[in-house]
Copies of this chain bind each other. A is one copy, B any other.
Amino acid sequence: MNEVLADSSRTLADRVFSRLQDDIVRGVIAPGSKVSETDLAGRYGVSRGPLREAIRRLESRKLLEREVHVGTRVASLSFDDLIEIYHVREALEGLAAGLAARLMTAEEVAGLTELLGQHEQQQDLRHDTAYFQREGDLDFHYRIIQGSHNRTLIRMLIGELYHLVRMYRYQFSTVANRPQKALHEHRRIVEAIEARDAEMAELLMRRHISRARENIEQQAQQRSPQ
Contacts and interface: CB of A to CB of B under 8 A. Distances in A.
Interface in A125-150: 150
Interface string A4-38: 00000111011000000000000000000000000
Contacts of A94: 91
Contact of A88 (B81, B92, B160): B92
Contacts of A9: 68
Contact of A61 (B54, B59, B60, B90): B60
Contact of A153 (B59, B84, B95, B155): B84
Nearest to A68: B11
A137 to B, nearest CB: 20
Given A84-B152, A88-B95, A91-B94, A10 B68 contact: yes
Most buried by B among A57, A88, A160, A161: A88
19 contacts: A9-B68, A11-B68, A49-B49, A52-B53, A60-B61, A84-B151, A84-B152, A85-B152, A87-B99, A87-B152, A87-B153, A88-B150, A88-B153, A88-B156, A90-B95, A91-B91, A91-B92, A92-B92, A156-B156
Top 10 closest pairs, chain A to chain B, by CB: A91-B95, A84-B152, A91-B91, A53-B56, A84-B150, A56-B56, A56-B57, A60-B60, A57-B60, A85-B152
